[in-house]
Amino acid sequence: MGSNFRAPDMSEGDPTVVLPGDLILEYDPEKTQDRIFLGPGLRWQDKTITATKCGLLRKTPKKIYFVDSQQKRYVPEKRDFVLGIILKKRGDFYMIDIGASMAATISYLSFENASKKTRTELDVGDLIYGKLIVANKHMDPELVCIDSYDRAVGMGRLPDGGILFTVPLHVARLLIKPDNPFLHNISKKVTYTIVVGLNGRVWVKTAREGEMVAVMNAILLLEVMSEEEANKKVLKVLESFI
Partner 1 sequence: MKETPLSTCERTALTDMVECGLRHDRRGFLEARDTTISFGREYGSCSVILGETRVLAQVTCEVVEPRASRPSEGKLSIAVHLSPMAAPHLEPGGGGGSEVDALQQVLERNIKESRCLDLESLCIRAEESVWQLRVDITVLNHDGNLCDASNMAAVAALRHFHRPDVLVEEDGRVTVLSHATSPPVPTFMRKVPVCVSYALVCPQEDKCLVLMDPTHVEERVMTGKLVAGLNPHGDITSLVFPGRVALKKEQIMKCLEHAFRRAKIIAEMVQQAVEDDLQTRATEDRPSGFRDKLVSDEEYKRQRFTHLMATKVLTLPTESTEAAVPMEEEPSAPEEQDPANETTTNVTATSTNGLVDTPDDLEESRTTAVIASVTKTCKNKKKKVKKTKDVKMESDSEEEQQQTLLTSQDLQ
Residues of this chain that bind partner 1 (CB under 8 A): 73, 85, 87, 97, 99, 101, 123-127, 158, 160-165, 203, 208-210, 212-213, 216-217, 220-221, 223-225, 233, 236-237, 239-242
**Which is closer to partner 1, CB of 25 or CB of 206?**
206
Sequence letter at residue 215: V
CB of 86 to partner 1, least distance (A): 8
CB of 104 to partner 1, least distance (A): 13
How far, CA to CA in Å, does 147 sit from each of 95, 128, 129, 153? 20, 15, 12, 7
CB of 150 to partner 1, least distance (A): 27
Nearest to 62, CA basis, from 82, 37, 87: 37
What letter does residue 108 receive in the DSSP assignment?
T
**Which is closer to partner 1, CB of 20 or CB of 210?**
210
**Which is closer to partner 1, CB of 8 or CB of 168?**
168
What letter does residue 166 receive in the DSSP assignment?
E
**Which is closer to partner 1, CB of 38 or CB of 122?**
122
Question: 74: how many CB neighbours lie within 10 A of its CB?
Answer: 21
CB of 214 to partner 1, least distance (A): 9
Burial 42-51 (b: 16+ CB within 10 A, else e): beeeeeebbb
Burial of 114 (0-12, 13-18, 19+ CB in 10 A): middle
CB of 61 to partner 1, least distance (A): 32
Coil, strand, or helix at residue 21?
Answer: coil
**Which is closer to partner 1, CB of 192 or CB of 241?**
241
